[in-house]
Each structure stands twice: as C-alpha cells, then as structure tokens.
C-alpha cells in the first residue's frame, strides 16, 4: 500500500516563484502534485501596505504563520495584528484579508487544505505579467477557484 503523502524536502532557496500582484511574491513550497491533493504550502513575501482584498474561500481552509514583519488581519468583523511566530487558521467560508502594515518586507507561510489553490495564484501571476491584473480579471479567476472577492465596506 502506498503512503498517503510523498516524502518532500524543500530548501529555503527552492520553490516556484510567482509574482501574484505588485508587491506580493509567492514561493510554492508544496502543491497538489507533491501532497496527493492534501494541502498547498506557500511562502509569501509582502511589501509594505500590500495585501489582498477581503475575500472568502469556498473550497479550502487557510492557515497563516508569520515569519517576519507585522500584518493586519481582518477576519469577519474582527481586526487582528500578527507578528513573527503568530499563527491563525481560518475555516472555509469566513471572510478575511491581510496587509503588511510594517515599513519593510514581511513574510508568512500560508497553508491551504485541500490543495489546488496554486492554480489560482498561477493564473493571477500570468495576469500580472501581462499587465491585465484588474478587478474584473481577478474576480473571474477567483470564481473559477471558488474564491469570492467581497466588496469593500461602505463608509458612512
């Protein structure tokens, strides 16, 4: 009987590098093909004042582990702040976002269960490389992956 997961060792300098949006680099450390679809692990490097819009995942749970820097997280109505060593999980279906609120690059590990979200980040990277990364394209690519981009909160 085969093992459920393959053995995998990835050095700090290894992993497929994707420029997902200006100021946000993803380094794919383990993807669906490596984990028999169990999970995706990504190292993300985020420049100051950069992060995704509020969104939710219909297919996968997500976990964050801050390696360096300071991040502001919005999880539903709750605002949180995470620094090095900080860990958080978000079940699927919960609205969330994050932003590097420091003055230098910040890094996190992102874990997605089950795997497959790497396809979404690859699609965003292609849009970014061709200069067509706009909200309409992001929403279309997100829907394909089961991710819902939420409107910004109304002020007023």
Considering the domain boundaries, does residue 7 fall inside one?
no
Mean pLDDT for the stretch of residues 139-143: 93
Considering the domain boundaries, does residue 6 fall inside one?
no
21: tokens are 């949006």
* Domain membership of residue 40 as a residue range: 17-148
Considering the domain boundaries, does residue 35 fall inside one?
yes
Mean of per-residue pLDDT scores for the chain: 92
- Count: domains in the chain: 1
* pLDDT band per the 50, 70, 90 thresholds, residue 5: low
Considering the domain boundaries, does residue 52 fall inside one?
yes
Considering the domain boundaries, does residue 59 fall inside one?
yes
pLDDT tens track for 17-69? 999 999 999 999 999 999 999 999 999 999 999 999 999 999 999 999 999 99
Considering the domain boundaries, does residue 41 fall inside one?
yes
Q: Calculate ∠ Cα 105-111-113, nearest 5°.
A: 155
Q: What is the CATH classification number for the domain harbouring 101?
A: 2.60.120.10
**By 3-state DSSP, what share of the chain in percent is helix, strand and coil, each rounded to 5?**
20, 40, 40
CA neighbours closer than 13 Å in the CB half-sphere of residue 81: 4
Considering the domain boundaries, does residue 122 fall inside one?
yes
Considering the domain boundaries, does residue 43 fall inside one?
yes
pLDDT tens track for 69-116? 999 999 999 999 999 999 999 999 999 999 999 999 999 999 999 999
Show Cβ contacts of residue 109 under 8 Å, excluding neighbours closer than 6 positions.
29, 41, 42, 43, 44, 64, 65, 67
Q: Tell me, what DSSP letter sits at residue 114?
A: S
pLDDT at 152: 75
């Amino acid at each position: 009987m085969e093992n459920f997961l393959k053995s995998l060792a990835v050095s700090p300098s290894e992993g497929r590098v994707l420029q997902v949006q200006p100021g946000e680099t993803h380094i794919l450390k383990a993807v669906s093909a490596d984990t028999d679809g169990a999970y995706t692990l990504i190292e993300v490097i985020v420049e100051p004042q950069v992060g995704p819009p509020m969104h939710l995942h219909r297919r996968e749970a997500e976990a964050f582990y801050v390696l360096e820097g300071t991040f502001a997280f919005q999880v539903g109505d709750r605002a949180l702040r995470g620094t090095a060593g900080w860990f958080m999980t978000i079940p699927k279906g919960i609205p969330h976002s994050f932003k590097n609120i420091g003055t230098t690059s910040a890094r996190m590990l992102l874990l997605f269960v089950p795997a497959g979200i790497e396809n979404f980040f690859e699609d965003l990277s292609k849009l970014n490389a061709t200069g067509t990364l706009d909200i309409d394209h992001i929403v279309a690519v997100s829907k394909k992956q089961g991710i819902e981009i939420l409107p910004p909160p109304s002020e007023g």
